Amino acid sequence: MGLLTIGAFAKASRLSPKALRLYDELGLLPPARVDPVTGYRLYAPEQLDQARLVAWLRRLGMSLARIQHVCTLEAGPAAQEVRTFWAQVEADTTARRDLATFLINHLSWKDPAMSPTTKHLGIRYAALSDTGLVRESNQDTAYAGSRLLAVADGYGSQGAPASAAAVDALKYLETVSVPAGDLLNVLEDAVEQAKQAVHGAAGTGSSPEEAGTTLTAMLWTGSQLALVHIGDSRVHLLRDGELFQITHDHTMVQSMVDEGRLSPEEAASHPQRSLLIRALGRGADATPDLRLHDARQGDRYLLCSDGLSTVVPTEEIHRVLSEIREPEEAIHELVALANGSGGPDNASCVLADVMELQQ
């Protein structure tokens, strides 16, 4: 088969002539030959595979610059690049879905016509932070109040004051009245205040760039819990006997799991499993996950640092939360389990039970 005209090649590759001319100008898909007299672009049949690949990648939404890079790779690395790209797309979609869900719930809550009649609910709570058996000091901060629940896991030379500053910056939420219409803005403002507080605390040390903290907090609104999450501390929900993890770790290893480059089993023992990609600290991405949870009577929420979640199996956490009724007793048992497994890190947890208030 001889060379194909741009029209014939466009039809075979499902790319428009306009797109082909653009890709030629970018050096992404140059023609095999350009007629010196007419200037017509002519393409070789063997270019169809690359043209179809470009068309498919464009349909995925990949940028032209990234497509150009993929086209320079062998099949295996190219497939990995597409896998990585799609994992990021799914992560971005999940983030937007979470925000959409938050806004739907948030606006539904504002609309009296859509708000269900609920019981008068409250929470009973307990918090505990333990140094563990290996670390010399405790850089975690755990807090539980009538409205605010929070766990922060500090790191670096000023990790302890950083985690304390982050939680302290949120404590004003205990006493202020937050109108339903302002909840999202209030939470974002609170995260910004926590970020500035952490910078201030970290700046007192000799290596401020190495200090920061995670922050995972929930604000009780009377019938819902609003979640703010940055880092790798976790929130588990025990509901109707089932345990759910309702946060997503912001770690390099978790991103590799999301991209299919690691299995969850491999991630659990990976030497860089604690390397954060989001945190409150200088130079770190401090973008929070924000969610709104409709609370039910009987729900049990556990906020914990990775010093608990990385050493105590999920099955054991489930057992303790299911069997031990009193929050204070349950969190002491969880910390004891962490220390029984060697206590390699600070372990902190906050437990809150949703219950009906007596009228």
Q: Under DSSP, is residue 242 helix (H, G, I), strand (E, B) or coil?
A: strand
User: Whole-number mean pLDDT of the chain?
Assistant: 87
Q: For residues 241 and 170, give the distance between their C-alpha atoms in angstroms, rounded to a whole number.
A: 31
Q: For residues 58 and 294, give the distance between their C-alpha atoms in angstroms, rounded to a whole number.
A: 39
- Residue percentage of the chain with pLDDT more than 70: 91
Bridge partners for 40 per DSSP: none
The DSSP output letter for 37 is T
Q: Is 120 exposed, middle or buried (0-12, 13-18, 19+ CB in 10 A)?
A: exposed
Task: Classify the phi-psi angles of 260: left when phi > 0, otherwise alpha if psi is within -120 to 50, otherwise beta.
Answer: left
Q: 123-181, pLDDT tens digit by residue?
A: 999 999 999 999 999 999 999 999 999 999 999 989 999 999 999 999 999 988 877 66
Q: Under DSSP, is residue 35 helix (H, G, I), strand (E, B) or coil?
A: coil
Q: Under DSSP, is residue 213 helix (H, G, I), strand (E, B) or coil?
A: strand
Closest CA to 85 of 254, 259, 277: 259
- pLDDT surpasses 80 at 26: yes
Q: What is the pLDDT of residue 305?
A: 97
Q: 304-354, pLDDT tens digit by residue?
A: 999 999 999 999 999 999 999 999 999 999 999 999 999 999 999 999 999
**Are residues 98 and 289 in contact, defined by beta-carbon separation less than 8 angstroms?**
yes
C-alpha separations of 331 from 276, 316, 322 in Å:
25, 12, 12
Phi/psi for 28 (5° steps) reads -80, -40
Q: What is the pLDDT of residue 113?
A: 40
Quote the tokens at residue 212. Answer: 């920061």
Evaluate if pTM is beyond 0.75.
Answer: no
